[in-house]
C-alpha cells in the first residue's frame, strides 16, 4: 500500500459520502495504491451506519475503525495510524473543510524527498475572533518554542512518511505537534498552501478552551524534547538557582546583623532564605526522581535514546533484542556477540 488517508469522524454523517467521492476524484489521476481509514470516534448521529455502507461498497479501499466511545480527535488519529498500511500517511478532517484535491501536490512533495508536508490554510474559512486569531497566535508561539516554523500547525491536512510518525504515541491534543516531533527525529519538513472551505454540515467540536489545552501540550512537548533524557538538568538547575538565592539572602542577613546591628528575626529575610532553600532542595530531589522515571520510560519499552536514519552494512543485530536479551537467547552458537554493543544502546554507560 502506498498511501493511507486517515480521517477521524465524530458526528459527520452528512459529509462522509461527499468526502469519499471527492477523494476518489482527486486520486483518480494519481498512479498509486491507496486506502482510506475512517475512524468513528463514538459518533451518535448515524455516521457509523454510513461508514459501514461505504465500506461494504468498496472493500478494497475503505477501512473503518469503530471506537467504543468518543476519545477525541488525537486518539482517533492514533487509532487510524495503527490500522493503516500505507507507506505515506495523509491526515485530514471529515467535515469537508479540507480539500482532497490538495493530496496529489502533497504526494509530489513527498516524492521530492520530504518526510512531512504540512498544509497551510492561506484563506481560512473560520470565525476570526474565536478561531483564526487564537490560531495565528498559537502558531507563532509553537513555531518559536519548538523551533519548527510552520504557518498552520492546526491544519489537519498533512502528509507524513510513515517512519517519522510511528516512533511516538499521541496524547491529549498532540496531533498538531506531530511535525515538531518528526523534526526532532530528523525529518525534512515543508509546507504548501491548501484550500479551506467553510463547514457545510454539522458544527465544530471545539471552542476557545482548546487554546489553553494547546498551550499546556506545548509545555509538555518542549519538556519532553529537551529534558526527557536529562530531567535533572531542568529541576537541578532550578534547584541550584533557588539555593543560590537562599545563600545570597542569608549573606544579606548576616551583613545586616554585623554592620547594622539589626535583629535577625525582625525582618522576613530569614524566613525567605529558609523557604528558598527548601524549595531548591525539593527541586533537586524532584529532578532525581524524574531521572529514575526517565530510565523506567526508556528501559521498560526498550526504547533507545537515538533514532537511526539508515544502516549501512547492518549485521542483523537488533538493538531492542539486545536490551531484552532475546538476541542472545535466540542466536545459535557462533552468532554475533552482544556484549560490546550493549552500552551504545543506553544513554548512560
Ligand atoms: N473529531 C473527532 N473526535 C472529536 C472531535 C472531532 O474525531 O472528539 C473529528 C471531527 O469529526 C473532524 C475533525 O476531528 O473530522 C476536526 O474537528 P472539527 O471540524 O470540529 O474541528 P475544527 O475544524 O473546527 O478545528
Ligand atoms: Mg473542521
Ligand 1 atom closest to the Cα of residue 10 is: 11
Ligand 1 atom closest to the Cα of residue 7 is: 15
**H helix or E strand, kind and range, residue 283:** helix 269-300
pLDDT at position 337 is 39
Coil, helix or strand for 97? Answer: coil
Query: What is the 275 CA–ligand 2 centroid distance (Å)?
Result: 49
Coil, helix or strand for 163? Answer: helix
Say yes or no: CB of residue 12 within 6 Å of ligand 1.
Answer: yes
- CA nearest to 305, candidates 344, 342, 339: 344
Ligand 1 atom closest to the Cα of residue 205 is: 20
What radius of gyration, in Å, describes the C-alpha atoms of the chain?
Answer: 26
Which residue's C-alpha comes closest to atom 19 of ligand 1? 204
User: Do residues 317 and 341 make contact, with C-beta atoms less than 8 angstroms apart?
Assistant: yes
- Sheet with 62-66, side-by-side order of all strands: 62-66, 34-40, 3-9, 88-91, 158-161, 116-121, 189-194
- CA nearest to 8, candidates 175, 212, 141, 208: 175
The CATH superfamily holding the domain 2-225 is Spore Coat Polysaccharide Biosynthesis Protein SpsA; Chain A (3.90.550.10)
pLDDT at position 206 is 85
Query: What is the 92 CA–ligand 1 centroid distance (Å)?
Result: 10
**H helix or E strand, kind and range, residue 257:** helix 231-259
Q: What is the dihedral of CA 122, 143, 214, 298, to 10 degrees?
A: 130
Say yes or no: CB of residue 204 within 6 Å of ligand 1.
Answer: yes
pLDDT in tens, 312-336: 888 877 766 655 555 444 444 444 4
Residues of the chain with pLDDT under 70: 319-349
- CA nearest to 105, candidates 93, 119, 92: 119
Residue-range domain boundaries for the chain: 2-225, 232-300, 315-349
Question: Cα–Cα distance between 37 and 41 in angstroms, integer?
Answer: 12
Which residue's C-alpha comes closest to atom 23 of ligand 1? 204
Query: What is the 300 CA–ligand 1 centroid distance (Å)?
Result: 34
Say yes or no: CB of residue 173 within 6 Å of ligand 1.
Answer: no
Coil, helix or strand for 343? Answer: helix
Give, for ligand 1, the residue of 93, 96, 124, 131 to mutate: max count of ligand atoms closer than 8 Å to Cβ: 93
Which residue's C-alpha comes closest to atom 18 of ligand 1? 204
Amino acid at each position: 500500500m502506498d498511501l493511507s488517508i486517515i480521517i477521524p469522524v465524530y458526528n459527520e454523517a452528512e459529509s462522509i459520502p461527499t468526502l469519499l467521492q471527492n477523494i476518489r476524484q482527486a486520486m483518480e489521476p494519481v498512479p498509486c495504491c491507496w486506502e482510506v481509514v475512517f475512524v468513528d470516534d463514538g459518533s451518535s448521529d448515524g455516521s457509523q451506519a454510513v461508514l459501514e455502507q461505504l465500506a461494504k461498497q468498496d472493500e478494497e479501499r475503505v477501512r473503518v475503525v469503530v471506537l467504543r466511545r468518543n476519545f477525541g480527535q488525537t486518539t482517533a488519529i492514533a487509532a487510524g495510524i495503527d490500522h493503516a498500511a500505507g507507506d505515506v500517511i495523509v491526515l485530514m478532517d471529515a467535515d469537508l473543510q479540507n480539500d482532497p484535491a490538495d493530496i496529489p501536490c502533497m504526494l509530489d512533495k513527498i516524492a521530492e524527498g520530504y518526510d512531512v508536508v504540512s498544509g497551510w490554510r492561506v484563506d481560512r474559512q473560520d470565525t476570526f475572533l474565536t478561531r483564526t486569531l487564537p490560531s495565528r497566535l498559537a502558531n507563532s508561539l509553537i513555531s518559536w518554542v519548538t523551533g519548527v516554523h510552520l504557518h498552520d500547525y492546526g491544519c489537519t491536512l498533512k502528509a507524513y512518511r510513515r517512519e517519522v510518525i510511528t516512533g511516538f504515541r499521541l496524547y491529549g491534543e498532540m496531533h498538531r505537534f506531530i511535525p515538531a516531533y518528526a523534526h526532532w527525529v530528523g525529518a525534512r519538513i515543508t509546507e504548501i498552501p491548501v484550500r479551506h472551505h467553510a463547514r457545510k454540515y454539522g458544527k465544530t467540536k471545539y471552542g476557545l478552551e482548546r487554546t489553553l489545552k494547546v498551550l499546556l501540550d506545548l509545555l509538555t512537548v518542549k519538556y519532553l524534547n529537551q529534558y526527557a533524557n536529562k530531567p535533572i538538568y531542568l529541576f537541578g538547575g532550578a534547584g541550584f538557582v533557588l539555593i543560590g538565592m537562599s545563600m545570597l539572602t542569608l549573606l544579606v542577613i548576616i551583613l545586616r546583623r554585623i554592620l547594622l546591628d539589626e535583629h535577625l528575626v525582625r525582618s522576613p529575610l530569614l524566613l525567605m532564605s529558609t523557604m528558598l532553600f527548601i524549595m531548591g532542595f525539593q527541586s533537586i530531589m524532584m529532578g532525581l526522581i524524574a531521572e529514575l522515571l526517565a530510565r523506567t520510560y526508556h528501559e521498560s519499552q526498550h526504547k533507545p535514546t537515538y533514532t537511526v536514519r539508515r544502516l549501512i552494512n547492518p549485521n542483523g543485530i537488533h538493538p531492542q533484542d539486545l536490551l531484552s536479551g532475546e538476541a542472545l537467547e535466540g542466536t545459535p552458537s557462533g552468532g554475533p556477540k552482544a556484549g560490546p554493543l550493549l552500552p551504545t544502546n543506553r544513554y548512560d554507560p
